[in-house]
Amino acid sequence: LFFVDGPGGTGKSTLLRNILAKVRLSGKIAIAVASSGIASLLLMGGRTAHSTFKIPLKIDGESTCNMNKRSQVTELMRKASLIVWDEAPMAHRHAFEAVDRTLRDVLDNEAEPFGGKVVVLSGDFRQILPVVKGGSATETIDACLKSSELWPLFQKVRLTENMRVRRAATSDSAAEMAAFSEYLLEVGEGR
User: Do residues 17 and 109 both lie within one domain?
Assistant: yes
User: Do residues 178 and 100 both lie within one domain?
Assistant: no
User: Do residues 86 and 179 both lie within one domain?
Assistant: no
User: Do residues 169 and 103 both lie within one domain?
Assistant: no
Is the pTM higher than 0.75? The answer reads yes
User: Do residues 66 and 125 both lie within one domain?
Assistant: yes
Domain count for the chain? 2
The pLDDT, as a whole number, for residue 8 is 80
pLDDT tens sequence for the chain (191 residues): 999 999 888 889 999 999 999 999 999 999 999 999 999 999 999 999 999 999 999 999 999 999 999 999 999 999 999 999 999 999 999 999 999 999 999 999 999 999 999 999 999 998 888 999 999 999 999 999 999 999 999 999 999 887 666 566 666 666 666 666 666 666 666 67
User: Do residues 167 and 119 both lie within one domain?
Assistant: no
The pLDDT, as a whole number, for residue 126 is 85
Taking a C-beta distance cutoff of 8 angstroms, is the pair 88, 122 a contact?
Answer: yes
The pLDDT, as a whole number, for residue 191 is 72
**What range defines the domain where residue 99 resides?**
2-160
User: Do residues 9 and 98 both lie within one domain?
Assistant: yes
User: Do residues 50 and 125 both lie within one domain?
Assistant: yes
User: Do residues 125 and 191 both lie within one domain?
Assistant: no
User: Do residues 171 and 132 both lie within one domain?
Assistant: no
Q: What angle do CA 132, 137, 141 make, to 5 degrees?
A: 75
The pLDDT, as a whole number, for residue 168 is 60
User: Do residues 180 and 149 both lie within one domain?
Assistant: no
